[in-house]
Structure 1
Amino acid sequence: MVSPKKLTPAMEQVKTFKEKYPDCILFMRMGDFYETFFEDAEICARELDIVQTSRSKDPEGNPIPLAGIPYHAVDLYLPRMIRKGYKVAVCEQVEDPKLAKGVVKRDVVRVVTPGTAIDADVIPGPTARYLMALCSDAKKTVMGLAFLDISTGEFFVREIPFEPGFSALATEIEQYNPLEILVPQGISADLISFLASTCKVLTPGRSGLFVDGTAELTAAFCVSSLDGFDVSSAECINAAAAALRYAKETQKTSLPHIRGFSRKYANDAMILDAITLRNLEILNPLRGDRNDTTLFGFLNRTKTPMGSRVLRSTITRPLTSPEKINHRLDAVGFFTRRPVLLSGTRTILSRFTDIERIAGRIAYGNASPRDLLALASSLAAVPELTAELCGAEGLLKDELEQIPSFDGVADLILSAIVDEPPLVYKNGGVIREGYSSDLDQIRNIVTNGRDWIAELQQTERERTGIRSLKIAYNNVFGYYIEITKANLHLVPDTYERKQTTANGERFTIPALREREAVMAQADDRVLALEISLFESLLTHLSEFVPALQQASRSIGTIDMIAAFADLSLSGNYVRPELVPGTELLIRDGRHPIVENTVPGGYVPNDTEMSSIGQQILILTGANMAGKSTYMRSVALICIMAQTGCFVPASFARIGIVDRVFTRVGASDDLAGGQSTFMVEMLELANILNNATDQSLILLDEIGRGTSTVDGYAIARAVLEYLHGKGGAGPRTLFATHFHQLIGMESELRRVRNYHFAVKEDQHDITFLRKLIPGATDRSYGIHVAKIAGVPKKVLVRASDLLREALTQDASSGGTKYYTQMLLTDAEPAPSAVEERIRDADPNMMTPMQALMFINELKALLEKK
Structure 2
Amino acid sequence: MNNSKNAGKITSTTKQPLISKFFRSTSNNQGSQIQNTNNKNNNDGKISVVIHDDNSSDELGPIISNISTQRIQKNKEDTGTIKKTNFSSFKYSEKEPNTKTILKECNEKETPVRKRRKLAKSVSPGIESNDITDTPSSKSDSTKKLVKNGKKSTSELTPFDKQFKELKLQHMDKILAVQVGYKYKFFAQDAVLVSQLLHNMLVPGKLTLDDSNPQDKLHKKFAYCSIPDNRLHIHLQKLIHYNLKIGIVEQVESSAIRKTEGTTGGTSSSQVFERKLTSVITKATYFINGDTTYYNKNDSARSKYENTIWALNIINNTGKPSLINMISIELTSGMIVYDEFEDDPLHNYLETRLKHLHPVEIILNEEKETMSEGIKNWILKIMNNDTKFYKVKINSESEHSIEELLLNLSAKRDISKDKTTLLFEENKNYRETFQILYTYLETFNLQKILKLFNNYKEFKEHQNYMILPGNVLQGLDIFENSTNPDIEKGTLLWVMDHTRTPYGFRKLKGWIAKPLTNITDINCRLDAIDCIKDEVSNIFYESLNKTIKESGDLLRILNRINYGNTSRKEVYFFLKNIVKLVDLFRLHSNYLEEQVYAKKGGRICEKSALLVEILSQCDSILNNSKVPQFLSMINAGAVMDKNIETQTSQFFNLNNYDNSEPILSRQRDIEDVKNDLHEELLKIRKILKRPALNFKDEIDYLIEVRNTQVKNLPPDWVKISNTKTISRFRTPEVRKLVETLKYKKELLIQINKKEYKDFLARINEEEYDSLYRLIDYLATYDCVLSLAATSTSMTNSTRPKFIKDSKQYINIKNGRNPIIESLRITNYVPNDIKLSSDSEKIMIITGPNMGGKSSYIRQVALLIIMAQIGCYIPADFCELSIFDSIFIRIGAQDDLLRGNSTFQIEMLDVLQILENFTERSLLLLDEVGRGTGTIDGMSISYAILRFFLELEDKCPIVLYITHYPLLIDNKTVAHDSSCNDRSGKLVGVYHMGYIEQKIDGEDWPTVVFLYRLKKGLANNSYGLNVAKLAHIDKSIINRAHEISTGLKDNFKAEQELLYTKKMLSLLISNKEKTFQEKITELLNNF
TM over 0.5: yes
Equivalent residue runs for 1:593-612 within 5 Å? 593-610=819-836
Query: Helix, strand or coil for the counterpart of 1:271?
Result: coil
Partner residue, 1:421: 640
Picking from 651, 674, 683, the partner of 1:431 is 651
Picking from 100, 117, 130, the partner of 2:263 is 100
Amino acid paired to 1:768: L
Q: Verify: 1:149 aligned to 2:367, yes or no.
A: no
- 2:673–2:740 CA contact under 8 A, matched in 1: no
Q: Verify: 1:558 aligned to 2:781, yes or no.
A: yes
- Judged with a 3 Å threshold, the aligned counterparts in structure 2 of structure 1 residues 591 and 442 are, in CA distance, closer, same or farther, namely farther
Using the TM superposition, name which of 572-581 and 633-642 deviates more.
572-581
Picking from 237, 240, 247, the partner of 2:434 is 240
- Judged with a 3 Å threshold, the aligned counterparts in structure 2 of structure 1 residues 696 and 211 are, in CA distance, closer, same or farther, namely farther
* Distance (whole Å) between structure 2 residues aligned to residue 531 and residue 808 of structure 1: 86
| TM-score normalised to structure 1 length | 0.81
Query: Helix, strand or coil for the counterpart of 2:828?
Result: coil
1:689, distance to aligned residue in structure 2 (A): 2.7
Amino acid paired to 1:416: I
* Distance (whole Å) between structure 1 residues aligned to residue 194 and residue 420 of structure 2: 45
Cα deviation, 1:462-519, whole Å, max 9, x if unaligned, reads 999xxxx9986799xx354678xxx845767339673566866632264986996687
Q: Verify: 1:777 aligned to 2:1019, yes or no.
A: yes
Amino acid paired to 2:988: R
Q: Verify: 1:366 aligned to 2:565, yes or no.
A: yes
1:731, distance to aligned residue in structure 2 (A): 1.6
1:590, distance to aligned residue in structure 2 (A): 1.2
Cα deviation, 1:507-563, whole Å, max 9, x if unaligned, reads 226498699668756754664565455444323322211211111111111111121
Cα deviation, 1:85-138, whole Å, max 9, x if unaligned, reads 122233334444633275254443333233444136578513652211123456
* Distance (whole Å) between structure 1 residues aligned to residue 772 and residue 373 of structure 2: 35
Query: Helix, strand or coil for the counterpart of 2:263?
Result: coil
Amino acid paired to 1:418: A
* Distance (whole Å) between structure 2 residues aligned to residue 509 and residue 95 of structure 1: 26
Picking from 150, 166, 170, the partner of 2:351 is 170
Amino acid paired to 2:177: F
Partner residue, 2:522: 325
* Distance (whole Å) between structure 2 residues aligned to residue 181 and residue 7 of structure 1: 41
Query: Helix, strand or coil for the counterpart of 1:624?
Result: coil
Partner residue, 2:1081: none
1:811, distance to aligned residue in structure 2 (A): 7.7
1:703, distance to aligned residue in structure 2 (A): 2.4
Partner residue, 2:390: 203
Equivalenced residues, count:
801
Query: Helix, strand or coil for the counterpart of 1:327?
Result: helix
Q: Verify: 1:297 aligned to 2:494, yes or no.
A: yes
Q: Verify: 1:805 aligned to 2:1044, yes or no.
A: yes
Q: Verify: 1:312 aligned to 2:506, yes or no.
A: no
1:698, distance to aligned residue in structure 2 (A): 1.6
Cα deviation, 1:163-217, whole Å, max 9, x if unaligned, reads 3332211110111001111222455655453134323211223135798998354
Partner residue, 2:1061: none
Between the aligned residues of both structures, percent identity stands at: 25
Picking from 510, 535, 539, the partner of 2:761 is 539
Equivalent residue runs for 1:215-226 within 5 Å? 215=403, 217-221=405-409, 223=411
- 1:174–1:274 CA contact under 8 A, matched in 2: yes
1:739, distance to aligned residue in structure 2 (A): 3.1
- Judged with a 3 Å threshold, the aligned counterparts in structure 2 of structure 1 residues 407 and 273 are, in CA distance, closer, same or farther, namely closer
Q: Verify: 1:159 aligned to 2:340, yes or no.
A: yes
Q: Verify: 1:130 aligned to 2:288, yes or no.
A: no
Amino acid paired to 2:358: N
Picking from 733, 739, 746, the partner of 2:974 is 746
Picking from 899, 911, 919, the partner of 1:693 is 919
Q: List alignment gaps of at least 5 residues for structure 1.
A: 816-864
- Judged with a 3 Å threshold, the aligned counterparts in structure 2 of structure 1 residues 323 and 84 are, in CA distance, closer, same or farther, namely same
Partner residue, 1:506: 727
- 2:314–2:323 CA contact under 8 A, matched in 1: yes
- Judged with a 3 Å threshold, the aligned counterparts in structure 2 of structure 1 residues 378 and 74 are, in CA distance, closer, same or farther, namely same
Query: Helix, strand or coil for the counterpart of 2:359?
Result: coil
Partner residue, 2:137: none
1:52, distance to aligned residue in structure 2 (A): 3.1
- Judged with a 3 Å threshold, the aligned counterparts in structure 2 of structure 1 residues 95 and 520 are, in CA distance, closer, same or farther, namely closer
- 2:324–2:343 CA contact under 8 A, matched in 1: yes
1:584, distance to aligned residue in structure 2 (A): 1.7
Equivalent residue runs for 1:582-621 within 5 Å? 582-610=808-836, 613-621=839-847
Cα deviation, 1:136-180, whole Å, max 9, x if unaligned, reads 456465432211123332223122223333221111011100111
Partner residue, 2:241: 83
* Distance (whole Å) between structure 2 residues aligned to residue 137 and residue 797 of structure 1: 56
- Judged with a 3 Å threshold, the aligned counterparts in structure 2 of structure 1 residues 224 and 638 are, in CA distance, closer, same or farther, namely closer
Cα deviation, 1:361-395, whole Å, max 9, x if unaligned, reads 11222212221233134313434368576334422
* Distance (whole Å) between structure 2 residues aligned to residue 307 and residue 530 of structure 1: 35
Amino acid paired to 2:473: L
* Distance (whole Å) between structure 2 residues aligned to residue 626 and residue 577 of structure 1: 27
- 1:497–1:506 CA contact under 8 A, matched in 2: no
Query: Helix, strand or coil for the counterpart of 2:472?
Result: helix
Using the TM superposition, name which of 21-30 and 503-512 deviates more.
503-512
* Distance (whole Å) between structure 1 residues aligned to residue 643 and residue 525 of structure 2: 42
- Judged with a 3 Å threshold, the aligned counterparts in structure 2 of structure 1 residues 672 and 51 are, in CA distance, closer, same or farther, namely farther
Amino acid paired to 2:326: L
* Distance (whole Å) between structure 1 residues aligned to residue 1051 and residue 762 of structure 2: 89
Amino acid paired to 1:221: L
- Judged with a 3 Å threshold, the aligned counterparts in structure 2 of structure 1 residues 787 and 315 are, in CA distance, closer, same or farther, namely same
1:734, distance to aligned residue in structure 2 (A): 1.8
Using the TM superposition, name which of 201-210 and 429-438 deviates more.
429-438
- Judged with a 3 Å threshold, the aligned counterparts in structure 2 of structure 1 residues 146 and 133 are, in CA distance, closer, same or farther, namely same
Amino acid paired to 2:991: H
* Distance (whole Å) between structure 2 residues aligned to residue 284 and residue 684 of structure 1: 23
Q: CA RMSD in A?
A: 4.2
Q: List alignment gaps of at least 5 residues for structure 2.
A: 1-20, 28-154, 217-221, 381-386, 597-603, 976-983, 1000-1005, 1055-1086
- Judged with a 3 Å threshold, the aligned counterparts in structure 2 of structure 1 residues 741 and 503 are, in CA distance, closer, same or farther, namely farther
1:694, distance to aligned residue in structure 2 (A): 1.6
Query: Helix, strand or coil for the counterpart of 2:173?
Result: coil
* Distance (whole Å) between structure 1 residues aligned to residue 875 and residue 910 of structure 2: 30
* Distance (whole Å) between structure 1 residues aligned to residue 820 and residue 673 of structure 2: 66
* Distance (whole Å) between structure 2 residues aligned to residue 245 and residue 223 of structure 1: 22
- 1:756–1:768 CA contact under 8 A, matched in 2: yes
* Distance (whole Å) between structure 1 residues aligned to residue 400 and residue 707 of structure 2: 79
* Distance (whole Å) between structure 1 residues aligned to residue 708 and residue 1043 of structure 2: 115
- 2:946–2:973 CA contact under 8 A, matched in 1: no
Equivalent residue runs for 1:396-795 within 5 Å? 396-403=611-618, 404-405=621-622, 407=625, 409-410=627-628, 412-413=630-631, 416-418=634-636, 421=640, 428=647, 431=651, 435=655, 478-480=700-702, 488-489=707-708, 493-494=712-713, 498=719, 506-508=727-729, 510=731, 520=742, 524=746, 527-528=749-750, 530-532=752-754, 534-542=756-764, 543-571=766-794, 572-579=796-803, 580-610=806-836, 613-725=839-951, 727-743=953-969, 744=972, 746-747=974-975, 748-763=984-999, 765-788=1007-1030, 790-791=1031-1032, 794-795=1033-1034
Partner residue, 2:76: none
- 2:355–2:473 CA contact under 8 A, matched in 1: yes
* Distance (whole Å) between structure 1 residues aligned to residue 902 and residue 401 of structure 2: 42
* Distance (whole Å) between structure 2 residues aligned to residue 39 and residue 444 of structure 1: 45
Using the TM superposition, name which of 344-353 and 307-316 deviates more.
344-353
Partner residue, 2:420: 230
Using the TM superposition, name which of 11-20 and 84-93 deviates more.
11-20
* Distance (whole Å) between structure 2 residues aligned to residue 761 and residue 724 of structure 1: 41
* Distance (whole Å) between structure 1 residues aligned to residue 369 and residue 908 of structure 2: 21
Amino acid paired to 1:223: A
Cα deviation, 1:765-807, whole Å, max 9, x if unaligned, reads 542221111121243434344344x15xx23431453256346
Cα deviation, 1:617-646, whole Å, max 9, x if unaligned, reads 122223332222211111111111222222
- Judged with a 3 Å threshold, the aligned counterparts in structure 2 of structure 1 residues 245 and 397 are, in CA distance, closer, same or farther, namely farther
- Judged with a 3 Å threshold, the aligned counterparts in structure 2 of structure 1 residues 523 and 722 are, in CA distance, closer, same or farther, namely same
Cα deviation, 1:367-425, whole Å, max 9, x if unaligned, reads 12221233134313434368576334422222334431254524642561425625896
* Distance (whole Å) between structure 2 residues aligned to residue 780 and residue 598 of structure 1: 28
